[in-house]
Amino acid sequence: MRALLVALLFAASCGHSAPDGDPGGATAKQHDDMARKQARFDADRHPEKVVAALGIGPGSVVADVGAGTGLLTVHLARAVQPGGRVVATDIDSAALDQLEARLSWAGLDKLVERRVVVGEHPGLEPATYDAILLAEVDNYLGDEVAWLTEATRALKPGGRLVISNVIGFRTQSMAAAARAPLALVAESTPVPSHFIAVYAAKK
């Protein structure tokens, strides 16, 4: 009984809802697993470089396209608080369920809207976003130029669209962006395996 009480107090003190709908709160093992995965991702990918490329801050509205389980989304949510919002999209609702668990664990779930979309369209409102991020996702788009053209309309004036992917997709990604109504602002290789390309709508 005492062990059960300690477990319940631990869950309550964390203030996080559990993955997979466990109403009692995520277990210590689940917390540890999420923390390990997040730490490994952060060490390998340096997500602060992506946040800097997006140019976001408190109050920004950001779209995280193909957000998956939310390893990058947590960093975007922290960057836009207070007053900001992240729309996390994916074609896989199960991945977004895991994203919700990760955000709840991190105490950031109130800042993020989960949105299931179809692959052919961004599913983003026009003239709404300060920044749109595509991290390791643009290579899955069937018609990348058409998708990027539609996504560009969702940017606010002065907004940024950022593509981050493995180096092997760099040529493909940048060629598609060059054919869309996007102008290259900056490009970098923050880690040897990945590039970041920053775009703005062509004037």
Q: Which domains does the chain have, with CATH numbers?
A: 45-201 (3.40.50.150)
For residue 194, pLDDT over 80 is answered with yes
Residue 27 has phi, psi (to 5 degrees) of -75, 165
Assess whether pLDDT exceeds 70 at residue 133. Answer: yes
Cβ atoms of residues 67 and 172 within 8 Å:
no
pTM of the model: 0.85
Q: Mean per-residue pLDDT for 100-125?
A: 94
Q: What is the pLDDT of residue 111?
A: 96
Mean pLDDT of 106-133: 96
pLDDT of residue 15 exceeding 90: no
Give yes or no for a contact between 92 and 25, defined as CB atoms under 8 angstroms apart.
no
Are 159 and 181 in contact by the 8 Å Cβ rule? The answer is no
Rounded mean pLDDT, 55-82: 97
Give the pair of three-digit tokens for residue 160: 């940024």
Kindly give, in sequence order, each residue whose CB lies less than 8 Å from that of residue 100, ignoring residues fewer than 6 positions away. 70, 109, 114
Give CA–CA dist 117/123, Å, rounded: 6
Please answer whether residues 185 and 202 qualify as being in contact, where contact means their C-beta atoms are separated by less than 8 angstroms.
Answer: no
Order of strands, sheet of 112-116, starting from the edge strand that comes earlier in the sequence: 112-116, 85-90, 61-65, 129-135, 155-166, 194-201, 182-191
